[in-house]
Amino acid sequence: MRWHASALIALLVLAVPASAQDAAGTSAPSSSTVTWRFAAGKGSLWIRDVASSRFGRRVDASPVSWEGHGLVFTAERDRGTARRGHHLEVSFEQSGSAVFRTPLAEFPRPADDRAIRVGGRYEYRRYLFVDLGVRGFDVGFGLQGGAEFASVTQHFDPSLEVRVREANLTTGVVVAARLRPLRRIQVEVAWANGGALVRTTQRHSAAAEETVHDWGVGWLTDLTARADVRVSNRMTLFVSYFDTGRGRFVLLDASASGRRRWMVGVSHGR
Amino acid sequence: MVAGALPILWLSVGCNSVLGPSKLDNNWRSYDSVHFSLFVRPDSFAEANQARLAEVLDDQYTTTVARLGITYTGHISAFLYTSAADAALACNRCGMGYPDTEALRATCQAPLDGNLFYLLSHEANHIIQRNAMGRPGTYFMNDGLASAVISTRFHGVGNEFFWAWTASHASAIPALSVLIDDSKWGGTDDEYKASASFLAYLIDRAGPAPIRQLYQVESRSFAQRFNALYGRSLEDLERDWRAFCAARAQM
């Protein structure tokens, strides 16, 4: 069902641009450019298990969340014109200093509770509506696909270790807007929704079958915001914010999670 | 029409708004026992009876660890809601265990009886068992074993109850070959009770060690592994179990 909407938006992205560009004015340069961005920052991760939820029976998540904090690094490459572009991104984040957060308090988890995540994402985006209402305000749409690998290690008393590895193939539809209030400043916001194919591997230190595998599906909602300040002809400094809510339906192992990160970085390119 | 509108709704409000979890609310008071933190709504039935509920849960915790011969000393947060609507659960005697975060949610309404004690004990067992033994391989094992080791110190909904129920409902109980098949599991009350009855019988006859080996086995290889662990087929032991329950009902 999700694909019907995705296909509709994809058709819109491919079919509308000619007329939209004619109506939108001619301020955007037509030559293709390449921009590299590198950023580092702080991130947080929360996980709430949904336990044995079955397909078609929605069960709310745990009232307690596992939360960790850590560092995030990203590298991005944009190629294209002001109206359309290819975006590639790789990111790495690790979380530690974990706690169980209940509605009333938080309790520290063992020091070696941790999570890591490595992800890659590609997006094709077109700004169909340029100078929409206000000069410098553009609205566009995109399609994205990605792959992620994540590993979460938890410990339970007295000495039990549970490690869940998760590989995701994701796809999504992106709605984006950007504003250039001044020549040197640009603010961009993107909102993505989509689905995922999930493969999990759980390893339990005391289980008879030490490792069990399973397949499942998931969803994602990503919000990205970035403010660019151009400091020279080729160099831009930026601050970015990213927030995602995700979930996976795996037999007897469903969960919901979210990540948030604040980053600063530098970009190079025209 | 409705199916077509669903993805558009998801995309317009965001997948996570539709499918994601609810926000945590802080309208709770907490009481700590040996193994549990009980979170209760202020001035609720659960708060009025929190001491007794904690006593029952602590007893269940000790019983489960002993009967299954497992090692687990984690501390569990039990959230006791006032109603199904409050808990976002399907009924006023429903619950859910969350092993990864050592938490459970359940409705907690009067009367303070064996059914309520059983519900809370069952959910607590999910957390203990899964954190001590890993992810269960079947719904049969996940839901059956959580009931098969219920303590009867404070109520009667335990092994004898399940065996008597088996005898009185023998013709309605599906074959074990059906119960162990996840694709046929419906999550009915009868399936829970029948699974609990059989697993309690196995523990009573052969101890917890084979059950621990069987806990993570998936449907497709369950019968074969069962045969290897018990030295007899599932069908053979099913006959013995049904005969055992029938004979016990005659006593």
Dump pLDDT digits (tens) for A233-244: 999 999 999 999
Q: Which of A103, A221, A247 sits opposite B25 (nearest CB)?
A: A103
Mean pLDDT is lowest, of A6-10, A197-201, B93-97, for A6-10
d(C-alpha B198, C-alpha B236), whole Å: 12
Convert the pLDDT of each residue in A82-126 to its tens digit. Answer: 899 999 999 999 999 999 999 999 999 999 999 999 999 999 999
Residues of B in contact with A156 (CB under 8 A): 72, 74, 102, 131
In order of their start, the domains of chain A are 2-16+35-53+64-269 (2.40.128.90)
CA distance B202 to chain A (A): 18
Dump pLDDT digits (tens) for B133-177: 998 999 999 999 999 999 999 999 999 999 999 999 999 999 999
The shortest C-alpha distance from B138 to chain A (Å) reads: 8
- Residue A140: pLDDT band with limits 50, 70, 90: very high
Across the A:B interface, residue pairs with CB atoms under 8 Å apart total 179
User: Tens digit of pLDDT for each residue in B127-144?
Assistant: 999 999 998 999 999 999
- For residue B25, the chain A residue with the least C-alpha distance is A103
pLDDT value, residue A122: 98
How far from B231 is each of A60, A131, B203, B228, B236, CA to CA, in Å? Answer: 41, 77, 15, 5, 10
Q: Considering only the beta carbons, identify the residue of A48, A209, A219 that sits closest to B15.
A: A219
Q: Give all domains of chain B, ordered by start, each with its CATH number.
A: 29-133 (3.40.30.160), 139-250 (no CATH)
Portion 220-249 of B in contact with A at CB < 8 A:
none
The answer to whether residue B88 neighbours chain A at the CB level (below 8 Å) is: yes
Q: Say which range, A264-268, B8-12, B242-246, has the weakest mean pLDDT.
A: B8-12
Tell me the chain B residues in contact with residue A4 when contact means C-beta distances shorter than 8 Å: 4, 7
The pTM score is: 0.86
